[in-house]
Structure 1
Amino acid sequence: MSRLPRRIVCLSTETVEVLYALGEQDRIVGISGYTVIPPQARKEKPKVFAFSTGDLDRILAVEPDLVLCFCDLQADIARDLVKAGVAVHVFNQRSVEDILAMIETVGRLVGAEPRAQALVGELEQLIDATRTAAARLPRRPRVYFEEWDEPAISGIRWVSELIGIAGGEDIFAELASRPSAKDRRLADPLEAARRQPDIVIGSWCGKRFRPEKVAARAGWQDVPAVRNGQLHEIKSAIILAPGPVAIREGLPALAHLFADWARSASE
């Protein structure tokens, strides 16, 4: 008799994405309302929780034998689930290596380790190929990644690492290892302008990036990114979720921006 979990609730989008990628989506009996990848999950699976808030009874109603949580923001619901007698695994992936390790762990939890290893191998090949291509760029752009605008918040660790892999230099790399967004707030918003980024990437956590608002900021007129029209958006769904999508789609998006910038800068 299989002892693997058969009824899994995923309270963040990343584990949903991995289970679908492994062909194990039939085990999912509930998801977070913030799940966006893959799109069909929102149509097929009941939404039983938001992200950090929701009703415990809605989760218990689908009778999970395992709930997959993410980070300290779900510590309270994880505690309540444990008290209710439910098995819980809390992930806390914050780096590219952590993302790959999370995929392997999900694979082990559902008995799909070979498929998980194959997925990790595919992502590692993409990382290696991107790094190799980036090494041929004539120049590395200085990049300001803005996760939120008011207050200004710089990019988290896996984003900073992906910028480096794609051939850029994160101008706030020293802040990237701080997991909490409030700890990545810029004490002085003008500091980003003073660091003279060649490219600004906005990923405003679910709201549309407004390049014209960035260009109109006081003190930004002489920033190279503003002067040269290098203000771009990468949707938060493909780069701020620490799952396969950040590598599969977020990394190529960064690489494309940097290669285009390098070509225009050399003309």
Structure 2
Amino acid sequence: MYPARIVCLTEEPTEVLYAIGEEDRIVGISGFTVRPPRARKEKPKVSAFTSAKIGEILKLEPDLVIGFSDIQADIARDLIKAGVEVWISNHRSVEGILGYIRRLAGMVGRADAGEALARRAEEHIAAVSAAAAALPRRPRVYFEEWDDPLITGIRWVGELIRIAGGDDVFPELTEKSLARDRILADPTEVARRAPDIILGSWCGKRFRPEHVAARPGWDAVPAVRDNELHEIKSPIILQPGPAALFDGLDAIHARIAAWARTAQ
């Protein structure tokens, strides 16, 4: 028997279930969900990222609750104690996202649809990779996930930057799964690594390139000098779901391709 009443504590399971035509199984979603837009109109919002309305979730009588990462461990614990089945994924890579799509689809009896979605994503990744390989040069890219303190991009972001045709200037930090391990103790290290492009995705608030450009010692950074500071909207890149493999990857590649074709 497959789950018929699912609560999604983050956006990516909602996005996947809608994409494979199984949205009717969803009875509750995260308040941060923006994809697909209709989900916000159709489903009750019962959680944030680090907190959830446990009582409201229980009223929905879910037979499965899906969350993401160790950050939601306390929510999972409370639900498990209440007798609810919980699946917390912890994928952090492009391959992990593809595997997640396939696993989630299998859990609702739609392995075929999950496989089709994952294959479309793989084909899209291959197409972008081929386009990136044809670019005349590769930029050095600094991706900023948060501004105070400075936090660099997570693993799947670094991987998507490489696929899109760039090189992450902090490759040693992208492997760190926890945000606290990707904090830059010395912001001037960004200047020393001289990125050609700065991409910002400040989760929950608008990226302010003028604030980045005004940081002490950053005026000589190639990206600042050449006005190559760009926002990548957080819903399409900071959620480890299909959006990152399609819209997020495309947004990064567009910025890299534009730079590669105009840089001298």
* TM bin (shorter chain): over 0.9
Query: Matched residues in 2 for 1:130 and 1:50: separation?
Result: 33
Map 1:1-267 → 2, pairs under 5 A: 3-266=1-264
Query: Matched residues in 1 for 2:79 and 2:103: separation?
Result: 20
Query: Matched residues in 1 for 2:127 and 2:142: separation?
Result: 23
CA displacement at 1:88 relative to structure 2: 1.1
- Whether the 8 Å contact between 1:206 and 1:237 is mirrored in structure 2 is no
Cα shift readout 1:139-174 (whole Å, capped 9, x = no counterpart): 100000001111111000000000000010000010
CA displacement at 1:54 relative to structure 2: 2.5
Structure 2 gap ranges (5+): none
Query: Matched residues in 1 for 2:255 and 2:51: separation?
Result: 36
Structure 1 gap ranges (5+): none
Query: Matched residues in 2 for 1:218 and 1:83: separation?
Result: 50
Cα shift readout 1:99-148 (whole Å, capped 9, x = no counterpart): 00110011101011101000000000010011111111111000000011
Select between 140-149 and 73-82 the one with higher mean Cα deviation.
Answer: 73-82
Query: Matched residues in 1 for 2:215 and 2:69: separation?
Result: 34
Letter in 2 for 1:37: R
What is the CA RMSD across the aligned residues, in angstroms? Answer: 0.8
Letter in 1 for 2:20: L
Letter in 2 for 1:32: S
Runs of 4+ in 1 over 2 A off after TM superposition: none
Relative to the length of structure 2, the TM-score reads 0.98
CA displacement at 1:214 relative to structure 2: 1.1
Cα shift readout 1:188-230 (whole Å, capped 9, x = no counterpart): 0000011000000011112111111111111111111111110
Query: Matched residues in 1 for 2:38 and 2:12: separation?
Result: 14
CA displacement at 1:55 relative to structure 2: 2.5
CA displacement at 1:52 relative to structure 2: 1.6
Number of residue-to-residue matches in the alignment: 264
Letter in 1 for 2:186: D
Query: Matched residues in 1 for 2:220 and 2:48: separation?
Result: 42
Query: Matched residues in 2 for 1:91 and 1:119: separation?
Result: 18
Relative to the length of structure 1, the TM-score reads 0.97
Query: Matched residues in 2 for 1:115 and 1:54: separation?
Result: 30
